[in-house]
């Protein structure tokens, strides 16, 4: 397997961008179309933004595709989304190869249908040697759920108790990070939410402690490369002190 290239972050470009892709249903409702049509258009927008992220040298992109709370939707819509996710991941192999994209998953695997986890695992294996943009698909994901699962894994291995003895809190924090879904992925520099809502909705709660937030009124299916550029320009103009003092 080819070794992954070492990343040299450019501080003016976010190394990791997370996107809460909101507004598919409203996009469809405004057009008097079924919600499924909005989800289909949302997939097209996701592909446009993935391609744009590659061109703009973003290293990691996490897309909030299906939350742990989305199971509350109708059985018909959930079934459609599970099928759409599986079909989309499988049909895009040529795109992954062409763009040198690596696919990862974050979320609670135990709650997903086996056909979905199989498709995710196959895509992750197929793209494991790709050294370009890493696209992390947050499917059956919830920030609280991820933290609780991390705690369960840590306590099962007695890691928390062992590392806490004689250790400072910073070391304990770093130790716990290893039990999250993808500990090798850096925290998101920028989190984008579309469709006018201004909340995180349980997205990357641990990792977003110092993320810059960008909110767009535009519905996700309408997003294009220029909209990503607007968020990147806004990010470039932020001053990040991480709790320190601006000298």
Q: Any catalytic annotation for residue 140?
A: no
DSSP letter for 65, please.
E
Find the helix or strand (DSSP H, E) in which 223 lies: none
What does the alpha-carbon distance between residue 39 and residue 80 come to, in Å, rounded to a whole number? 9
90-120: b (≥16 Cβ within 10 Å) or e: eebeeebeebebbbbbbbbbeebeeebbebb
Residue 236: CB atoms within 10 A of its CB come to 11
What does the alpha-carbon distance between residue 186 and residue 7 come to, in Å, rounded to a whole number? 11
134-141 vs 190-193, strand pairing mode? unpaired
Q: Any catalytic annotation for residue 22?
A: yes
Q: In which region does residue 220 sit, left (phi positive, over 0), alpha (psi from -120 to 50) or beta (all else)?
A: alpha
The runs of H, that is alpha helices, within 127-199 are: 143-156, 159-164, 169-177
* Catalytic residue (one of 22, 181, 189, 227): 22
End-to-end CA distance of the chain: 45
* Catalytic residue (one of 70, 100, 182, 202): 70
Using DSSP, state whether 75 is helix, strand or coil: helix
Residue 191 backbone dihedrals phi, psi, to 5 degrees = -120, 125
Which sequence positions are flagged as catalytic?
A: 22, 70
């Amino acid at each position: 397997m080819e070794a992954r290239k070492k990343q040299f972050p450019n501080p003016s470009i976010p190394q990791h961008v997370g996107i809460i892709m909101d507004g598919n249903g409203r996009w469809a409702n405004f057009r008097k179309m079924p919600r499924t049509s909005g989800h289909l258009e949302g997939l097209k927008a996701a592909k446009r933004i993935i391609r744009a992220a590659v061109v703009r040298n973003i290293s990691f992109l996490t897309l909030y595709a299906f939350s742990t709370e989305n199971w509350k939707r109708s059985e018909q819509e959930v079934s459609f989304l599970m099928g759409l996710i599986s079909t989309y991941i499988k049909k895009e192999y040529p795109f992954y190869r062409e763009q040198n994209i690596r696919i990862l998953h974050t979320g609670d695997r135990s709650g997903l249908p086996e056909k979905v986890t199989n498709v995710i695992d196959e895509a992750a294996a197929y793209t494991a040697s790709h050294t370009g943009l890493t696209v992390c698909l947050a499917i059956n994901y919830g920030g609280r759920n991820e933290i609780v699962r991390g705690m369960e894994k840590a306590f099962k291995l007695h890691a928390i108790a062992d590392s806490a003895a004689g250790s400072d809190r910073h070391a304990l924090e770093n130790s716990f990070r290893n039990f999250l879904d993808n500990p090798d992925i850096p925290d998101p520099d920028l989190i984008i939410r579309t469709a006018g809502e201004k909340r995180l909705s349980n997205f990357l709660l641990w990792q977003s402690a110092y993320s810059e937030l960008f909110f767009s009124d535009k519905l996700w299916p309408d997003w294009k490369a220029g909209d990503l550029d607007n968020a990147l320009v806004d990010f470039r103009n932020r001053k990040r002190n991480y709790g320190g003092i601006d000298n």
